[in-house]
Amino acid sequence: MGSWAIGEEILPGYRFVVADDHPLFRGALQQALGELGDSTILETGDFEGVKALVAKDADIDLVLLDLAMPGGSGLSGLVALRALNPAIPIVVVSAYDEPQNIRRALELGASGFISKSLRMDELREAVRTVLAGEIYVPAEVELGEERDPEISDLIARICTLTPQQTRVLSMLAEGLLNKQIAYELNVSEATIKAHVSAILHKLGVDSRTQAVIRLSRIGTDPLTEEV
């Protein structure tokens, strides 16, 4: 990986993932990133694709993620993706750029939020900001405070989960059984049972069904709520 400072061009060697189900927008993002330097740009049009890339490629420097892709589940998709490799910065790229969505994405660990209405030069500056280790927030956006106490409590609780517990929770949401999760994560079923118990305690629920229902509260629906 090369090194750089704000105002300089990105040196060759960076690896970007562009995850969006619209080919034309993926092309626009690739063009914008391509003007930053001779970097590798991987692309995918569905959530399973971006999960596979993040899971197998530890050298990714930045993911540009559309939350509304096929197979995705809104902000809970962001949670699942971050659990695969918390060290990889993820910038949400979305048309749903209401302040509450930006705030929730940042609270759940996104390194930035880019509106799809942003100009390409602004997008490049956003990428520079994140690669410099900072958080990108759109200019002149007042994030305000969470008006839904249940969502505020849920986000705080989710943030107490370890990456492995978060992966288990995401797999529970996919409908996998303990033995299937154990196989996928290459651990014992007893370990998964211990994770599930910890998850239920941290989320303040009594069953895995309740845990999945709670997680769904930050799924696709909040992206389209009126504020």
What pLDDT digit, counting tens, does each position of 44-87 carry?
A: 999 999 999 999 988 899 999 998 888 877 898 999 999 999 99
pLDDT band per the 50, 70, 90 thresholds, residue 12:
low
Which structural domain range is residue 85 located in?
15-131
SS3 helix, strand, coil % of the chain, rounded to 5? 50, 10, 40
The token duo for 131 is 């690669």
Q: Cα–Cα distances in Å, from 200 out to 8, 31, 168?
A: 47, 44, 11
How many domains does the chain divide into?
2
Question: Are 50 and 120 in the same domain?
Answer: yes
d(CA 182, CA 10): 40
Within a domain: residue 175?
A: yes
Amino acid identity, position 63: V
Q: What is the mean pLDDT of residues 96-115?
A: 92
- End position of a domain, from candidates 131, 164, 196: 131
Furthest C-alpha separation in the chain? 52
Q: Which structure tokens are listed for 111?
A: 């390194």
| Spatial separation of the C-alpha atoms in residues 66 and 46, rounded to whole Å | 9
CATH number for 59: 3.40.50.2300
**Does the residue 41 lie in any domain?**
yes
pLDDT, residue 29, reads 87
Q: Using 50, 70 and 90 to split pLDDT, how confident is the model at 5?
A: very low
pTM of the shown model: 0.86
* Phi and psi, residue 157, nearest 5°: -70, -40
Show Cβ contacts of residue 201 under 8 Å, excluding neighbours closer than 6 positions.
Answer: none
For 151-193, write each residue's pLDDT tens digit.
Answer: 999 999 999 999 999 999 999 999 999 999 999 999 999 999 9
Residues 125 and 160 in one domain: no
Same-domain status, 169 and 86 = no
* 183 Rama class: left (phi>0) / alpha (psi -120 to 50) / beta: alpha
CATH number (domain holding residue 198): 1.10.10.10
